[in-house]
Amino acid sequence: MKKEMFEPFNSSDNNFEQCVKCTICTVYCPVLEVNPDYPGPKQSGPDGERLRLKDQNFYDESLKLCLNCKRCEVACPHGVKIGDIIQLARIKYSKKKPKVRDMILANTDIVGTMASTFAPIVNPIVALKPVRLMMDGVLKIDHHRIFPEYAGMRFETWYRRYAASKQTDFKKHVSYFHGCYVNYNFPKQGKDLIKIMNAAGYGVHLLEKEKCCGVALISNGLIKQATKQARHNVEAFKKSIVDKNMPVISTSSTCIFTIRDEYPHLLGVKNDEIRNESELATRFLFRLIDSGKLKLVFKKDYRKRIAYHTPCHMEKLGWSVYSTALLKMIPGIDFVSLESRCCGIAGTYGFKKENYKTSQGVGKPLFDQIESSDIDFVATDCETCKWQIEMSTTKKVEHPISILAEALDVEATVKLWQK
């Protein structure tokens, strides 16, 4: 009786007409709380859209203050895609050309390639105070920011040299979208993933050629390039998912959110054939365990007190439950949950000098919670949240996959499915 008429929420394209002006979204916007120059989600989103459709001169450059955190969308009782409306308006109407700095920040893969090649030189240089001041003055990258270090050997190189050949030993297989951060800055996270997946009985493969998901290109207004990369990635995913029947997993919540939702909503790149089987590694593992197909065995002596931070895009996906459920399976973990709040970095947003104050203001309540929670470290699924929290608190941040890898008893786990 119901199917023919039921309209799910969160489904139409630009559904600003569904707004009933209740202003609930404005209560939960983290920017509005600290920066009165920002008009807020209702005004920038559905209300502004009505005006912009009449005359595009109503477009207001202050919309670039939006973090695209989508917390407004999660709260809206009427399923209005406020964040999408704002981002689409920026794409359509913004006349400001991206600056050199924005291009540098946005091209995480090109800059990463150059930097990791020269990592031993680049790392000390960007860490130097005079260099940071120069970046601040010339490029308007805030000098408080500490750049993530570049790794000497890229993940892809490491994989080809040391891991690729072993992956065919397994009966079951997945592809791994590692993203720029794992490739250039933090290969360990990719290695940890391979450790877990292998222990779970899965061979891990790289896509034919992955490109940066493009999230930073989108937020810096480099839409043409973002669209090109999105099309490329969807094709690469298809080769794995459709041709080889191999799902694609990732360890970056932002990459996977961008590929699943922002490609169709903001770039108009269709992804129907790949969307359902592109997901986070923690969700993939959870499903296996939940359906009784996998059992993980953990070391007896692993003891840690950790707090989980929900990145905005995890809040929107509703998926933090998978990561926290896995963490809670580790017997030696004393788990503390943090109130779900934006950390303020929002990718490249917080790197820009003009946003520094807003960014730290947004994150402050989270930092205070972390500092007062007496934990060993913070767990989170997003790499930019990691930079932000490590820079703004005294605590280290680990990815849930790395924590699992550390706590896992590989031999005992393998024994369970090998016999």
Partner 1 sequence: MKFDNIIIGGGLSGLTCGIKLAEQGKKCAIVSSGQSAIHFFSGSFDLLGKMDGQDVKNPLEAIKILPDTHPYQRVGIENISRLVVEAPRLLDRAGLNFFGKADENHFVLTPMGIMKPTWLTIDDFTRFEQNDAFPWKKAVILNFSGFLDFHTLFVQDGLKKYGVDTQIKNFAMKEFEAIRRNPSEMRSTNIAKVFDSGDALDEFAQKVNQLSEGFEVVLLPAVFGLFTKNVALNLKAKVNKPVVLLPAIPPSVPGIRSQILLRKRFEELGGTYFLGDNVEEGTFKNNRLVAVQTNNHGDIKLEADQFVLASGSFYSKGIVATREKLYEPILGLDIDGDTDSEKWLDEKFFNDQPYMHYGVKTDSGFRALKNGKPIENLFVAGSVLGGANALKEGSGAGISLLTSLHVAEQILK
Binding site for ligand SF4 (CB under 6 A): 19-25, 29, 31, 41-42, 46, 66-72, 76, 78, 80, 82-83, 86
Structure tokens given for 219: 């937020």
Q: Examine residue 2 and tell whether it contacts partner 1 (CB under 8 A).
A: yes
**Binding residue for partner 1 (CB under 8 A) from 52, 132, 283, 304?**
283
- From ligand SF4, partner 1, none, interface partner of 292 (C-beta below 5 to 8 A by class): none
- From partner 1, ligand SF4, none, interface partner of 241 (C-beta below 5 to 8 A by class): none
- From partner 1, ligand SF4, none, interface partner of 337 (C-beta below 5 to 8 A by class): partner 1
Distance CA(299)–CA(411), nearest Å, equals 10
CA trace torsion 150, 110, 183, 248 (10° rounding): 160
Q: Examine residue 32 and tell whether it contacts partner 1 (CB under 8 A).
A: yes
**Smallest distance from the beta carbon of 154 to ligand SF4, in angstroms?**
33
Nearer CB in complex with ligand SF4: 19/182? 19
Q: Examine residue 8 and tell whether it contacts partner 1 (CB under 8 A).
A: yes
Nearer CB in complex with partner 1: 290/334? 290
Nearer CB in complex with ligand SF4: 49/383? 49
- From ligand SF4, partner 1, none, interface partner of 74 (C-beta below 5 to 8 A by class): partner 1
- If you search the block for the tokens 């040299």, which residue do you land on? 161
Q: Examine residue 130 and tell whether it contacts partner 1 (CB under 8 A).
A: no
**Smallest distance from the beta carbon of 269 to partner 1, in angstroms?**
20
**Residue 214 and residue 348 in contact, taking contact as beta carbons nearer than 8 Å:** no
Phi, psi dihedrals of residue 31, rounded to the nearest 5°: -75, -45
**Residue 286 and residue 396 in contact, taking contact as beta carbons nearer than 8 Å:** no
What is the largest distance, in Å, between two alpha-carbon atoms of the chain? 69
Q: Examine residue 39 and tell whether it contacts partner 1 (CB under 8 A).
A: yes
Phi, psi dihedrals of residue 94, rounded to the nearest 5°: -65, 130
**Smallest distance from the beta carbon of 405 to partner 1, in angstroms?**
23
Distance CA(405)–CA(408), nearest Å, equals 5
**Residue 236 and residue 269 in contact, taking contact as beta carbons nearer than 8 Å:** no
**Residue 205 and residue 233 in contact, taking contact as beta carbons nearer than 8 Å:** no
Amino acid at 168: T
Q: What is the DSSP letter of 43?
A: I
Ordered strands of the 248-250 beta sheet: 202-206, 172-177, 248-250, 278-280
Contact region with partner 1 (CB under 8 A), list: 36-44, 116-124, 143-151, 369-377: 36-44
Which region holds residue 347: left if phi is over 0, alpha if psi is between -120 and 50, else beta? Answer: left
**Smallest distance from the beta carbon of 6 to partner 1, in angstroms?**
5
Three-state SS for 141? strand
Q: Examine residue 290 and tell whether it contacts partner 1 (CB under 8 A).
A: yes
Q: Which of 268, 273, 266 is nearest to 248 (CA)?
A: 273
- From ligand SF4, partner 1, none, interface partner of 317 (C-beta below 5 to 8 A by class): partner 1
- From partner 1, ligand SF4, none, interface partner of 43 (C-beta below 5 to 8 A by class): partner 1
- From ligand SF4, partner 1, none, interface partner of 290 (C-beta below 5 to 8 A by class): partner 1
Q: Examine residue 24 and tell whether it contacts partner 1 (CB under 8 A).
A: yes
Q: How many CB atoms lie within 10 A of CB 296?
A: 21
- If you search the block for the tokens 């993939």, which residue do you land on? 284
**Smallest distance from the beta carbon of 25 to partner 1, in angstroms?**
9
Contacting positions for partner 1 (CB under 8 A): 1-2, 5-6, 8-10, 22-24, 26-27, 32-33, 36-37, 39-40, 42-43, 47, 73-79, 276, 283, 286-287, 290, 315-319, 321, 325, 337
